[in-house]
Structure 1
């Protein structure tokens, strides 16, 4: 009977090795799962959070430069701004912006001043995560041109009223002058007949 003990002892050692190996594999799997569970969520593409054209109120004049501030620092290269007239769809100008931290800026070309209107600045940038991001920001420009044109169209109400009021008197004077001439001619003709 004692000859069987080594056999059982060997089987016991083998079982313990298998058990320890299984425990190590399970522990490794748990660590991997925990790492995945606690890994940071990938950030979304950079979005516009500010800028000199981001405003609820119209701008007083067309900006000399356009700056957009993003939620993270975009990467250099492959960045483009394009400013368009939203009414006509015409592209006013496009340029590659300079990157200064989270702010991207383009200068309006010299001589470009479309005046009052509705515009948008479209952008294509390389986000901080390396992906291309596209979008647009609308903005309005007010100014005096629209007011001046409106004034020239409507005119001066007081002057218009005075001119309209003087028009009937002009007709009355003209008709009176014609009647006076006719009366003089009739009197002259009657006098000529009496002399004959």
Structure 2
């Protein structure tokens, strides 16, 4: 085997190793480990929402709404490493609810999800709002959830540094292959001079 071919094979092997090591890190977004309330749980009441992720997260947005779209979260969510806590504004009337959440993963990519749950009715529970307005449930708080930064709303994918590294390896491989070749005339001329 010729020497330039060995160099080209070495560059190809190194680039494969580089991409193999970089790809798992690029695809490892943080995930939701647990939540309170849990998905599809039935609870008697709720004072706050707790979400725990697989790593430290940032820029959390947590929205609690019922089937009619009324929102019940209070204030801004708080983070403590991998945990996110969101207060609930009022006593929740019986019915179905959804927690919609969005965070920026520790790898810089946005991750979002929903957690449906039900608040069970009790004998002393307040009835839902009627057309006459009597016996209405407490008004939910209309809180403005902070918007995620513009950079975090871009579509996920392989980070730019991986593409730049791959491009650099391709250029090195091309230069190695092309630079290692000698024209037959040059090789014959060098042998005649020697």
Shorter-normalised TM-score: what interval? 0.5 to 0.7
| Greater helix share, structure number | 1
**1:134: which partner in 2?**
112
Q: How does 1:78-93 map to 2 (within 5 A)?
A: 79-86=60-67, 88-93=68-73
Instruction: Check conservation: 1:83, 1:94, Cα contact below 8 A.
Output: no
**1:113: which partner in 2?**
91
Instruction: Check conservation: 2:95, 2:120, Cα contact below 8 A.
Output: yes
RMSD, aligned α-carbons: 2.8
Which has the higher relative contact order, 1 or 2, with Cα contacts under 8 A spaced 6 or more apart? 2
Shift of 1:52: 1.4
Give TM-score scaled by structure 2 length. Answer: 0.54
CA–CA distance in structure 1, aligned partners of residues 125 and 93 of structure 2: 12
**What 5-or-longer segments of structure 2 have no aligned partner?**
128-194
**What 5-or-longer segments of structure 1 have no aligned partner?**
1-18, 150-196
Instruction: Check conservation: 2:93, 2:126, Cα contact below 8 A.
Output: no
Shift of 1:68: 1.2
User: Aligned to 1:46, which of 16, 30, 37?
Assistant: 30
CA–CA distance in structure 1, aligned partners of residues 105 and 125 of structure 2: 42
**1:31: which partner in 2?**
14
Larger Rg: 1
CA–CA distance in structure 1, aligned partners of residues 74 and 114 of structure 2: 13
Q: For 1:7-34, what per-residue CA distance to the aligned partner results, in whole angstroms no more than 9, with x for missing partners?
A: xxxxxxxxxxxx4344333322222223
Give TM-score scaled by structure 1 length. Answer: 0.54
Instruction: Check conservation: 1:80, 1:125, Cα contact below 8 A.
Output: yes
Q: For 1:96-140, what per-residue CA distance to the aligned partner results, in whole angstroms no more than 9, with x for missing partners?
A: 31112221101123xx11322211111121112211222211111
Instruction: Check conservation: 1:64, 1:107, Cα contact below 8 A.
Output: yes
Q: Secondary structure at the match of 1:91?
A: coil
**2:44: which partner in 1?**
60
**1:73: which partner in 2?**
56
**1:100: which partner in 2?**
80
